[in-house]
Amino acid sequence: MANNSSLSSPLPHADKSCIDIKTALFGSNYPVIHIQLFLLGVVLIAICSLIHKYSKNHIGIHKNLKLLLVNTIILYIINSLVWIVFFLRYRIQMFTYKHPCDFLSPVWMVPMFLGPPKLYSIAYPCFHFAIAFERIRSTFLAKRYERMGTQSTVIIIWIIWFLSFGYMMYIIWVAMNDPAIFAQPQGIVTITTEANANVMLYGTIVSMALVILTALCDWFIFVMNKRLHIFTRNSRTEYNLSLNYQINENTQAMLVIFPIDISFAIIYPIHNVLVILIRAYRSAFTKADFVSYCYWANTPLFLHSLVTVLLYIRFINRSSNITKRRNFVKRKLKEEGKTHFKFLEEQWNRKSAFSTY
């Protein structure tokens, strides 16, 4: 690695952007890169474990919930891979650079790294709200929900991807039309401009409202399913297989989804408040420290992603164990039934043989 003391040596060909990015990478940003690389790497490993467990176990949940969860995992993969490549690029350059301007990012590269997180910031709250909406549908339409198709959910998924992608492309398009930022390679990368700052602020407000609304919906679903469970258990007049199956599925799913959404409803506003405070006191920081603090503010979100994937793994293990127990009970009942009928057949044969004498 190049000696850090080179910062004080004369750099005739380096402009301020080159010095800023080098100062950030070898200064306060240095631990951020390694901590977040570790977290994101563990997230990807956990996702691989999740996919492996899912492929090996049959999970008895509705296709609508499966579709939404799969799209959420795809979001995690996209977000984690983008940030890993972003940090790895700098980590490799820290070993190989010969001049501070080697750290500059070409204009075409900046949207590739900073665009997907904008997509994630809209799509993730939307998908979790869609999951809550599906759970509400399955609660109120429990008697016939199992017979309903996936058409409405597929439409919702397409709408979420379209809106999120459109939001990302608008932010990128407005930023790239600002010559003050995209006229030359960037040192400390950004796609925030005066033209798109208000849109990003409105996007943050809407996503925060959606996150809080999702948590409230989850609480409502959790309470409703507990009441339905008590009602069906005490009711002796009517038994509906689809209703009871859906109540059990909702209860199992909400044991995982409810804490995830509640924790995100706490972490996401904290993250946004931290970013707002950092931006408000921007003049008190150096440019390197400002960027470092903004990256530090992302750490709770990455940690939440890891915990979420681990809870999904726990959900699969729990569902798999329940399915295995059900199958074991079914096999046992079937074997007991065969044994009982075999015993009755033997008794009948003995009685028939005795009557012939």
DSSP state for residue 99 in the 8-state scheme:
S
Helices 109-140 and 241-280: crossing angle in degrees, nearest 10, is: 140
Q: Is residue 258 situated within a structural domain?
A: yes
Residue with tokens 């931006």: 279
Q: With the CA atoms of 18, 19, 25 and 29 taken in that order, what torsion angle do they form, in degrees rounded to the nearest 10? A: -120
Binned at pLDDT 50, 70 and 90, residue 290 comes out as confident
Give me the domain span that covers residue 240: 4-9+18-336
Dihedral sign (CA 224, 226, 229, 234) = negative
pLDDT at 2: 43
**Residue type at 176 in one-letter notation:** M
pLDDT at 286: 78
DSSP state for residue 146 in the 8-state scheme:
G
Q: Is residue 345 situated within a structural domain?
A: no
* Domain count for the chain: 1
Q: Which of 357, 351, 131 is nearest to 256 (CA)?
A: 131
Contact 120, 271 (CB under 8 A): no
pLDDT at 355: 58
- When mean pLDDT is compared across 117-121, 205-209, 296-300, 325-329, the lowest value belongs to 325-329
Q: Is residue 159 situated within a structural domain?
A: yes
Q: pTM for the complete prediction?
A: 0.78
Q: Is residue 273 situated within a structural domain?
A: yes
- Give the burial class of 341: count Cβ atoms within 10 A of its Cβ; 0-12 exposed, 13-18 middle, 19 or more buried: exposed
Q: Span 102-126, mean pLDDT?
A: 92
Q: Which of 165-179, 262-276, 293-307, 325-339 has the highest mean pLDDT?
A: 165-179
* Distance, CA of 18 to CA of 191 (rounded, Å): 18
Q: Give how far Cα 171 sits from Cα of 74, 95, 353, Å.
A: 22, 33, 89
Q: Supply the CATH number for residue 161's domain.
A: 1.20.1070.10
**Residue type at 87 in one-letter notation:** F
Note the pLDDT tens digit of each residue in 325-335: 555 555 655 66
The pLDDT of residue 223 is above 70: yes
Q: Is residue 291 situated within a structural domain?
A: yes
Q: Is residue 206 situated within a structural domain?
A: yes
Q: Is residue 168 situated within a structural domain?
A: yes
Binned at pLDDT 50, 70 and 90, residue 61 comes out as confident
